[in-house]
Structure 1
Amino acid sequence: MPPPPPPSSCPPTTAAPTTAAASGPVVNVTSPPLAGCPGGIATGRIMDNGVGVQYAYLTVYSASNPNVSVRSGSTDADGRFRIVNIPLGTYKLRIMLPGYQVVQWWPGKADHASAGTFTFTAIGEEKVLDDQALPHGGITGHITTATGGPSTDTQVVLYSTDGARLTSVAVDADGGYTFGFLAPGTYKLSVERWPGFNPTQYVHGRTSLADADPITVALGAPTVVDEQLLATGEITGVVTDQGQPVANVLVEARLVNGTGVMAVYTDADGRYRLNLLPGQYKLRLQVYWDQLEQWWPDSDDEAGAQTITVTAGGSVVADAQARPSVTVWGNLFQDNSEAAYGATVELTEVTTGRTYRTTAYGQWQLPVRPGTYTARFEWNGQVQWYHRATTAGDARQFVVGTGDPVFLEETFLGAASILVSATDARTGAKVDSFCAILNGTSNGQRCTNTGVAEFEVGAGVYSVTVDDGVHVIGTIDNIRVAAGDRVTRSVALTAGGSIEFTAVDAGTGAPIANACLASKLVDRAPEPGPSYGGFACTDDEGRYTFERITPDRYQFFAPVYDDVHGAQWVGPRGGVGSQDEAKVFTVREGVVTKVTVRFDKRGSISGKVTDRATGQPIFGAYANIAGMQAGGIVGSTDTDGAYTLDGLGPYAWKLSFWHPDYAGQWSGAVAERSAATTVKVRVGATTTYNLPMRKGTLVTGVVTSAPGTQQNWLLVTVLNARTHDFRSYIEVNADGTYRGWVLGPQKVHLSLEGSVDGVRGHVWWRDGKTFAGADTLAVPRTGTVTANFTFNP
């Protein structure tokens, strides 16, 4: 009579390591007998060139299912194994050789399908499953210190060429190591030292895995790879707080021009030591009780940190004093004296502009550095500043010293209401169904079917976006409300047109996926507000439909991202390389405009941008086609001034160049697009075009806002007055002044966008609210021209 099956309480499987597991001994050389779980016994010896293989890991698998394992074990120092209590049945044996990079199946097979089977029909039955390691390769070598002696306390790590960490091995007392069982292929190696924190080195003498030399392994004798450690230096120091050492401070050394980071914690005496490769570093410190970082020697941010140069064999002392921090805390209430649960609290240091942020649950607290601050509170769409101010300009400043915590208590002013409605701009008919969003707040979205959306807000200035899913999205700006107000505003929504975009190969007519279309207004410059066409790309069928486009006249730029075809301006009969030659399309209300783009194959342009006066390369200049906005093709110059514009159709292109310290200019170093030099692109080739860049004429001015208000951020954009081409971005300084470069002679429009007291706005010079009201500024060939703004959004 056959023996009874094992009881159901017997564990059916034993977990086996994956091929990416780290090397090392498996504790249970044999599977110990389990009471009540009888079965067969598998024994044997795994050999390699007459030597037993230690630490081979063996797993017994179902003969019919390669995903089901039942028992496992590993070989001892002589390569022997014994696996007991294998349930009765038919099986196959998988053998993972040390390091887990070579796997074979008994007897000497490469996979489960070709492996031999063995069957247990009686309890205690024993099968001898000896096997020889299949042919393999390996890596061996020695690791030496920078002075030539053996490097102990070191491990060598094996990687695949795609960066996956495979396994590791410790060196012996002579610095030797061996990866004995590797499949033929290409690998990379790193060397890591311990104890403590030491820089990782990659073979041969590299500091990153990407730069490591590939190591080729073939069948047979192991590949010999020796490595000498690079010489290092160190940064040491002690961190104190009011003269007392501070333990457990995280100290990070960050490469100034790189991504490497080494970190240690201070010991009980506040001391630390960082072993580093030669280079320039900045130190970041994080005191364990403090949420605030600091940078050596005494800065809150990396920009203010000093650079430490580490040399081979050198030692730099960098002691640090923990910077003081003080807790600001408070209570925040609704106007009915209940807690303002979930409100946002922002504390801004007046001098530096640094902002600290938290969420209040009635009570709140924030650690900050000593300084002078303002506090901003937001809850359910209500925004105000300490103390009971509705604008940043009216906020009360308070001083945080180095002593006791600072307490603030604030109650939101009485709520106000904004009621939003919408009409059809052409017919005047009421729009009943739409959604409105209160911009710049967390007050969310209000949707309605009754024609009115209502927001409860605090005193302040707001803007609302309205979308009914049919018309072009509308915006209502500068809605000013005081506590208790009930303000009604309406927006007239414009019915849009549609653009049906189809992309095909110019030769075959086959559809092209990932071809895109960017719209450019013909008769006026873009400004904040409704959609003027946007930017989108085709699906697998080569199609995309733009909905709800503002009726107007457009030209289209069409880039494509398939590594085959090239970009174009959409011309009357095919692609062209200049907007001057592009076809003009008119989008009308309720009408579908069809735009079929036939794409030719691609080429590229590359070259260098230099200073015309000095001949030196210009780093960070932008070479672009179709402007800096969405849809344009842009390439920036490297430290040698080199740039590349890839994916261009085979046309005569006009290129635009810009850098913050130079005037925007066209190829040929000219101000106007019409006078630009064309650069011919050929399929499959790279055309060279170099530009000696001109400085231009200085444009300067002052932006003035109402007394008592705070200018948060402001940006001037320079556009050619005739073609509306982008010429420059100029940031406005904290004092309201700005200065930038424009190439003359040409006439330009200046667009100013930004935020004052948290309220966003936009104006055209001089103070025109729309493009139609903009004045033209004449920029001469040389000298300085001044254009001042008044900006009160």
Structure 2
Amino acid sequence: MRRHLLRRVGIMLLAATVATTGLAAAAHADPDTGTITGRLTDGGGPVANAHVEASGAGFGAAETDANGDYVIADLPPGSGYQVRFSPPGRPWQYAYHTPTYESAAEFTVAAGATTVVNDTLIAVGTITGRFIDAAGNGLPHRTVTFSSEPSGIWQFTETDATGAYQAVLPTGAYRVAFKVGSQDQYVPGELDHSLAQIFSLAAGQTVTVDETELPLGAVAGRIVRADGTPAAGTDVLLRGPDDGYAGYAGTDADGRYRIDVLAGAYRVMIPFDSDHSVLQYVPGKRLAAEAQLFTVTAGNVTAVDETLLPTGSASGRFTDAAGNGMAGVEVSLIDEYAGTYSGRTDANGDWQVDGLLVGEYSAMFFSWQHNFTQYAYGKTSREAADEFIVTAGQNVVVDDSRLATGSIRITAKNSVTGAPVADFYVQAGSYSTDAVDGVATLSELPVGTWQPAVYASGYQPLEQVAPVTVVAGQQAEIELTLVPYGSLRAKVVDAATGAPVAGVCLFTQTKTKFRLFEGCAGESGADGEVVLDVAAGTYQVFALPGPGSAYGAQWVGLTGGTGSQDLARNVVVAAGERKDIHKIYMDRKGSVTGVVTGADGAPVTSGTVAVVTPVIGDAGQGRVAVDTQGRYTLDFLGPYSWPLSFQTSTHAFQWSGAAHRRQSATLVPVTAGQTTTFDQQLTLGALVKVTATGSPAGGFAVAYNNSNGDVAGFVWVQQAGGQAVYRVMGGQQVKLEYAGGLPGQGWYGGTDFDSAKTVSIPTTGEKVVVYPYS
């Protein structure tokens, strides 16, 4: 199964590929290894001197010859191989036809056999221009970043001695940024990524993007300690309102600093530890939301002085169960803002950490050597840990001893056959082990109650077993039942000719979930065949061809495609069952284009249009960007009627016709080989203000439609216990979650979607909800 990744950053210039795959006996092949071979072409002609890499269970590389042919031999057998081409003067690309590692096809290499991966070059264009200062002088050796839309993949080049640059890129839409100090300046003259102009790049086209560096201002001042003495050698950081990094400086012997930055608004912060988890925001605050925003204007210096918050210290001794000091134990002191200070015990088990900001702390003790983690005093989790207070100029003593230990012996069986499961992996907190001959033993577990998680290839993960009590010097025994995955098998073919279609990714969805994550669980090969593992359940299948395909996306029906999930075929899979859904008939694609306007009638300047709901924390697939004139084009849809979704930062997430759920959306007809025009005026939606008191920093506040589980709106919450403010379409009932902690936590009025309370969203005005995070 394809590994799921949030985003992969491209190094230099990326591209995409189209390939076909087959498996045949290899003449004179090493019986213990396999081979990947193929041909790279462009417009029917060979591409010579292209570097080709195959990576998976092993790695190999080759160069294409004058005929575009390559051979990569002596590869260890295995699945998950990917093939990457780096043609001369072109960005690299993966098979099949994709610029990204995440969506690349995977191939199986068999011992003594040959896997064939042919490919053609994808279409490219060129972005060129010059970066100059206000006097017209070229700015050399500046990084130029190209951010593709909507995937957000970053690609880079650099200006030459005259400030000029040129980049060959896959066709698509891009935002262009130039590095100014530690900041990115987006064209035209913006610091905010969302305000950047989007440039469309067609095949063979050259787009010129020139930019003039914005004038700089500065933040400067003096940092002193609580007693008024200079804080020499202290780091000072600048971040923008969106928490983007803007600059850094260290103070001199008198505590003075200066940071040159582009004009804008900034927070000033001072870290108290090396990894910047403990921060003081000017003026004297611990939360980013409470920090002052300082305005910097071009050519001027904004004065920002600060006095460091008072500090104390903590010390203690960590011993084994017999009272002997334990050396080399890592000590982490975690404050109420999730900041962490670190220390280590000496040969006698003693430790001390200075410079602790005044406040409330818990202490964690950890050792790789002895394989244990525990919290003061004698607790196995932070939730159960005791807390202590650090006061100004004082030392608090925190002594602790290693907990007595026992063990858990775990065996597992197949829920369908009852047969023992030989290979699996067990994890309980920071403790883990692999099964040996069907038995996994978690040794030296601290006494207390544990709920291990169990993972086995081909089985659904068991995230939390029933509580198991560990007693000192004793071994608990449990037998678990693991549920095997089922599988879906299909053949993807051309609806008109019946010929196999490669490069089509299948997604299993349910009536209460339709979100296309990055990556692909199962993709059709050259023979059109595709197999993917699924948990037992009832599904509808969504088929998404790769970029550049002539075919359109579809929900899979009995005899053809549809644009409506409600009309899709229901596929029921039992645990361990191999289900054949036979053929998937692919039709040629059409397009939808239009203009998105806001509630005020003016075109929106950014956002996405899709046939899916948002994916929290993931760029996802099935969506395109809205440009600065509000225009969009969806060019991958099959010839059916589709509900479209619209997501912007200024309006509520909504469906075509300003519907709050996809089942109520206005359907947009698509015709093969033609373009349909559909304009959308957005409804502003109600303002939702949600506070999960006691929630950890850095999570998503999410509203889900009560009737179908679709995401109705979400926003990132930077500070612990902070208020989330976002818009949701009125007239619907939703359930609220703060997604940033452990499973079962963060739901309003419950522990999961089913048990959470419903909240009615008004058609206008705002909805305020405050609830305890637990």
User: Could you say which TM-score interval applies, normalised by the shorter chain?
Assistant: 0.5 to 0.7
CA drift of 1:579 comes to 0.3
TM-fit CA distance, 1:387: 1.9
| Whole-Å separation in 2 of the counterparts to 1:765 and 1:323 | 35
Give the SS at the match of 2:465. strand
**By how many angstroms is 1:678 displaced?**
0.5
Counterparts of 2:526 and 2:234, CA distance in 1: 55
The answer for the alignment partner of 1:591 in structure 2 is: 578
1:267-312: CA deviation from partner (whole Å, max 9, x where unpaired)? 4433334455544344445689997554444345655443333334
Whether 1:354 and 2:339 are equivalent positions in the alignment is yes
Distance 1:680 1:381, change over 3 A: farther
Partners of 2:761 and 2:188 lie apart in 1 by 58
Kindly indicate whether residue 229 of structure 2 is the aligned counterpart of residue 239 of structure 1.
Answer: no
Residues 751 and 762 in structure 1, CA contact (< 8 A), matched pair in contact too: no
Query: Kindly tell me: are residues 623 and 383 of structure 1, through their superposed partners in 2, closer, same or farther at Cα, counting changes over 3 Å?
Result: farther
Provide the C-alpha distance between the structure 1 equivalents of 2:495 and 2:521, rounded to a whole number of angstroms: 22
Alignment of 1:499 with 2:488, yes or no, is yes
Map Cα deviations across residues 80-127 of structure 1 (whole Å, 9 max, x no partner). xxxxxxxxxxxxxxxxxxxxxxxxxxxxxxxxxxxxxxxxxxxxxxxx
The offset of 1:555, in angstroms, is: 0.6
| Structure 1 residue aligned with 2:87 | none
| Contact residue 160 and residue 166 of structure 1 kept, 8 A | no
Query: 1:543 Cα shift?
Result: 4.4
User: Which one of the candidate residues 301, 309, 316 is aligned to 2:302?
Assistant: 316
In the TM superposition, residue 259 of structure 1 has moved relative to its aligned partner by 6.6
Moved more, 783-792 or 649-658: 783-792
* Alignment partner of 1:554 out of 515, 535, 539: 539
One of 361, 369, 375 as aligned partner of 1:385: 375
Which of 387, 396, 399 lines up with 1:397 in the alignment?
387
Query: What TM-score comes out, normalization by structure 1 length?
Result: 0.58
Cα shift at 1:449: 1.4
Corresponding position of 1:38: none
Cα distance in 1, alignment partners of residues 265 and 698 from structure 2: 35
Q: Which amino acid is 1:420 matched to?
A: I
Aligned pair partner of 1:647 in 636, 645, 650: 636
Question: 1:261-660, aligned counterparts within 5 Å?
Answer: 261-285=246-270, 294-300=280-286, 303-337=289-323, 345-350=331-336, 352-356=337-341, 366=353, 367-378=355-366, 383-390=373-380, 392=382, 394-427=384-417, 429-439=418-428, 441-451=429-439, 453-481=441-469, 483-484=471-472, 486-506=475-495, 512-521=501-510, 535-538=521-524, 542-547=528-533, 549-564=534-549, 565-588=551-574, 589-594=576-581, 596-605=583-592, 623-629=609-615, 633-634=622-623, 645=634, 647-657=636-646
TM-score if structure 2 supplies the norm length? Answer: 0.59
Cα deviation, residue 582, structure 1:
1.2
Alignment of 1:104-123 (within 5 A): none
Q: Tell me if structure 2 keeps the 8 A contact 1:475–1:491.
A: no
Q: How does 1:84-103 map to 2 (within 5 A)?
A: none
Unaligned runs of 5+ in 2: 1-131, 145-155, 169-176, 198-210
Instruction: Render the CA deviation track for 1:590-639: whole Å, top value 9, x for unaligned.
Output: 32424543444445545566665x66778987654243358652457788
CA RMSD of aligned residues (A): 5.8
Distance in 1, matches of 2:496 and 2:244, equals 47
Residue matched to 2:158: 164
- Pairing partner for 1:693 from 666, 683, 687: 683
Change (3 A) 1:587 1:639: same
- The aligned residue for residue 666 of structure 1 is 655
Q: What does 1:133-148 correspond to in 2, within 5 Å? A: none
When structure 1 is superposed on structure 2, of 401-410 and 250-259 the one drifting more is 250-259
**Residues 378-417 of structure 1: CA deviation (Å, up to 9, x unaligned):** 5577554322235545432211123144432222322233
Distance 2:423 2:521 in 1: 24
Q: Distance in 1 between matches of 2:243 and 2:725?
A: 32
Q: Deviations over 1:528-580 (max 9, x none)?
A: xxxxx983434566544223x33332111122332234322122233321101
Q: What secondary structure does 2:542 align onto?
A: strand
- Secondary structure class of the residue paired with 1:280: strand
Offset at residue 185 of structure 1 (A): 13
SS where residue 566 of structure 2 aligns? helix
Q: Say if 1:776 and 1:622 are closer, same or farther in 2 by CA, change over 3 A.
A: farther
**Residues 452-491 of structure 1, C-alpha deviations (whole Å, 9 max, x = no match):** 5445422455433334435444344352535536443332
Deviation string 1:191-214 (CA, Å, 9 cap, x unpaired) is 999xxx999999999999x99xxx
- Distance change in 2, residues 1:715/1:293 (3 Å): closer
**Number of the residue aligned with 1:135:** none
Measured at CA, do residues 711 and 238 of structure 1 come closer, stay the same or move farther in structure 2, by a change above 3 Å?
closer
Q: Distance in 2 between matches of 1:246 and 1:411?
A: 37
Cα deviation, residue 653, structure 1: 0.7
**Residues 754 and 191 of structure 1, relative CA distance in 2, 3 Å threshold:** closer
Instruction: Classify the secondary structure of the residue corresponding to 1:580.
Output: helix
Letter in 2 for 1:492: T
The Cα of 1:373 is off from its aligned counterpart by 1.4
- The separation in 2 between residues aligned to 1:144 and 1:574, in whole angstroms, is 58
Taking the aligned partners of 1:713 and 1:310, their CA distance within structure 2 comes to: 30
In structure 1, stretches of 5+ residues that fail to align are 1-142, 149-153, 169-178, 212-226, 528-532
One-letter amino acid of the structure 2 residue matched with residue 270 of structure 1: G
| 1:635–1:789 Cα change, 3 Å | farther
SS in 2 for 1:269: coil
1:519–1:535 CA contact under 8 A, matched in 2? no
CA contact (8 A) 1:503 1:599 kept: yes
| Structure 1 residue 435 displacement after superposition | 1.4
